């Protein structure tokens, strides 16, 4: 892709890293909120390129990881209903709920289909008028416009056999929860570039001012991440705190207004439980009144209380309190082949990132 080479170029990355070394005089903790960025950091060894005094803390930005266990159980129970086809993103299949995983149900004969685009769920609904098609609509603000569009299409085409199990989460309230924690150890945030590509970054100004914390909109390539870190460190060293965009080629201040318009139409903001973390006020999307007819929770009312029942410390990992390799189960009771928690399953999960890239001898994997 055009310019992708430069943003992966080792010499440019080294040069930006050198500049971080020259600027840094103190220790700082910087949280990358997005799990995709955690994976890039581990894959490219970004944590090894920067000064030892800069600590990268991995944030809660893994949608599959924060989807409540109750919602996962609910998806499974819906999939077990007669004539249902459950459509899900592949990452969700192996995430353990309290009664097993969706992939377990699939091998037992439930019709669970892996999709890469939510529009496929609309097509499946058109092709199967006698079946009830349920889209498992999870994700952050990056995925929400796609799911919203599928739901909007279902309404306009009167696809009565289509519904959505919606469990969307929003980034700014999660940043606020972390920043407002009295024992917050985060000095600066790298905001996820692809989330901001949709939402823009107006909402971050208030957070940055209120908690006096630099927030840098950052991309996913090695040079992007290093540049995000460089700008965050510059602000910290100068005692400044504002919102900065290190991902200008992709992110406009107002994001994607068309997508934001559709989000406002299809969804409304609601309190949402984050798995392992707890309920964060106004931190998710549910369907708006106008689209309530397409709510799978209304169509399949199920009474069920879920319980977490293993030693998984995902909540501590997602809040940046525990590094994945500090979890007692890491690499022993919990591996990608037999995961105890979602962070070991998802390609945005921090535990999977540490497991996958641990051979690289990353600093993060050294004994603490």
Partner 1 sequence: MGRADFGGVVAEVCLEYLPEIQIGEYAIVHVGFAISRINESEALRTLAQFRELGILETDFAERNPSV
Answer yes or no whether residue 197 interacts with partner 1 by CB under 8 A: yes
Span of 86-94, 198-206, 295-303, 327-335 interacting with ligand SF4 by CB under 6 A: 327-335
Residue 366: name the closest of 147, 75, 45, 133 by CA. 45
Sign of the torsion angle spanned by Cα atoms 70, 74, 80, 86: negative
Span of 31-39, 77-85, 99-107, 328-336 interacting with ligand SF4 by CB under 6 A: 328-336
Whole-angstrom Cα distance, residue 196 to residue 43?
Answer: 23
Whole-angstrom Cα distance, residue 86 to residue 132?
Answer: 8
259 interacts with, out of partner 1, ligand SF4, none, CB within 5 to 8 A per kind: partner 1
Whole-angstrom Cα distance, residue 279 to residue 71?
Answer: 13
344 interacts with, out of partner 1, ligand SF4, none, CB within 5 to 8 A per kind: ligand SF4
Answer yes or no whether residue 196 interacts with ligand SF4 by CB under 6 A: no
Residue 319 Cα to chain centre, angstroms? 13
Residue 76 Cα to chain centre, angstroms? 21
Pattern 100-119, partner 1, x by CB under 8 A: ----------------xxxx
Whole-angstrom Cα distance, residue 16 to residue 246?
Answer: 13
Rg of the chain (C-alpha set): 21
DSSP conformation class of 334? B
2 interacts with, out of partner 1, ligand SF4, none, CB within 5 to 8 A per kind: partner 1
Residue 218: name the closest of 20, 30, 19, 1 by CA. 30
149 interacts with, out of ligand SF4, partner 1, none, CB within 5 to 8 A per kind: partner 1
Q: Are strands 132-139 and 162-169 parallel, antiparallel or unpaired?
A: parallel
Answer yes or no whether residue 60 interacts with ligand SF4 by CB under 6 A: no
Answer yes or no whether residue 12 interacts with partner 1 by CB under 8 A: yes
Answer yes or no whether residue 96 interacts with ligand SF4 by CB under 6 A: no
Answer yes or no whether residue 215 interacts with ligand SF4 by CB under 6 A: no
Answer yes or no whether residue 77 interacts with partner 1 by CB under 8 A: no
Strands (E), the chain: 28-34, 54-61, 84-89, 112-115, 132-139, 162-169, 188-192, 215-218, 243-245, 267-274, 278-287
3-state secondary structure of 26: coil
Answer yes or no whether residue 142 interacts with partner 1 by CB under 8 A: yes
Answer yes or no whether residue 340 interacts with ligand SF4 by CB under 6 A: yes
Answer yes or no whether residue 16 interacts with partner 1 by CB under 8 A: yes
The set of residues, in sequence order, having a beta carbon less than 8 Å from that of 23 and lying 6+ positions away, is 230, 233, 234, 237
Closest to ligand SF4 by CB, 204 or 274? 274
CB 40 within 8 A of CB 353: no
Specify the DSSP element, H or E, that contains 172: helix 171-180
Whole-angstrom Cα distance, residue 204 to residue 240?
Answer: 15
Answer yes or no whether residue 145 interacts with ligand SF4 by CB under 6 A: no
User: Exactly one of 47, 176, 224, 329 binds ligand SF4 (CB under 6 A); which one?
Assistant: 329
Shortest Å, Cβ 157 to partner 1: 15
Answer yes or no whether residue 351 interacts with ligand SF4 by CB under 6 A: yes
Answer yes or no whether residue 298 interacts with partner 1 by CB under 8 A: no
In the region spanning residues 266 to 325, those forming contacts with ligand SF4, defined by CB under 6 A, are 312-314, 317, 324
Q: Which residues bind ligand SF4 (CB under 6 A)?
A: 312-314, 317, 324, 327, 329-330, 334, 339-341, 343-344, 351
Q: Which residues bind partner 1 (CB under 8 A)?
A: 1-3, 5-6, 9, 11-12, 15-16, 18-19, 89, 116-120, 139, 142-143, 145-146, 149, 194, 197-198, 227, 246, 248-252, 256, 258-259, 262
């Amino acid at each position: 892709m055009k310019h992708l080479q430069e943003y992966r170029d080792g010499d440019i990355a080294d040069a930006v890293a050198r500049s971080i070394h020259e600027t840094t005089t103190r220790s700082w903790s910087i949280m990358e909120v997005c799990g995709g960025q955690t994976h890039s950091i581990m894959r490219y060894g970004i944590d090894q390129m920067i000064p030892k005094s800069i600590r990268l803390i991995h944030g809660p930005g893994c949608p599959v990881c924060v989807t409540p266990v109750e919602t996962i159980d609910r998806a499974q129970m819906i999939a077990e209903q007669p004539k249902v086809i459950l459509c899900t993103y592949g990452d969700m299949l192996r995430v353990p709920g309290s009664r097993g995983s969706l992939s377990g149900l699939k091998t037992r004969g439930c019709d669970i289909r892996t999709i890469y685009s939510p529009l496929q769920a609309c097509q499946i609904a058109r092709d199967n008028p006698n079946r009830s098609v349920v889209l498992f609509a999870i994700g952050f603000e990056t995925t929400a416009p796609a799911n919203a569009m599928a739901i909007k299409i279902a309404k306009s085409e009167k696809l009565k056999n289509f519904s959505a199990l919606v469990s969307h989460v929003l980034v700014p309230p999660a940043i606020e929860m972390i920043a407002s924690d009295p024992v917050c150890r985060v000095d600066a945030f790298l905001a996820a570039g692809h989330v901001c590509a949709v939402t823009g970054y107006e909402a971050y100004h208030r957070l940055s001012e209120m908690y006096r914390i630099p927030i840098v909109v950052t991309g996913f390539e090695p040079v992007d991440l290093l540049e995000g870190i460089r700008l965050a460190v510059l602000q910290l060293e100068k005692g400044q705190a504002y919102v900065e965009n290190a991902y200008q080629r992709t992110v406009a201040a107002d994001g994607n207004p068309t997508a934001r318009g559709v989000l406002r139409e299809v969804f409304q903001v609601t309190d949402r439980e984050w798995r392992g973390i707890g309920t964060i006020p106004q931190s998710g999307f549910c369907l708006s009144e106008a689209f309530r007819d397409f709510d799978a929770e209304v169509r399949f009312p199920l009474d069920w209380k879920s319980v977490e029942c293993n030693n998984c410390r995902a909540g501590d990992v997602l809040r940046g309190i525990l590094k994945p390799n500090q979890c007692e189960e890491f690499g022993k009771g919990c591996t990608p082949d037999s995961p105890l928690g979602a962070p070991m399953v998802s390609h945005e999960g921090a535990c999977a990132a540490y497991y996958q890239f641990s051979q690289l001898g990353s600093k993060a994997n050294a004994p603490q």
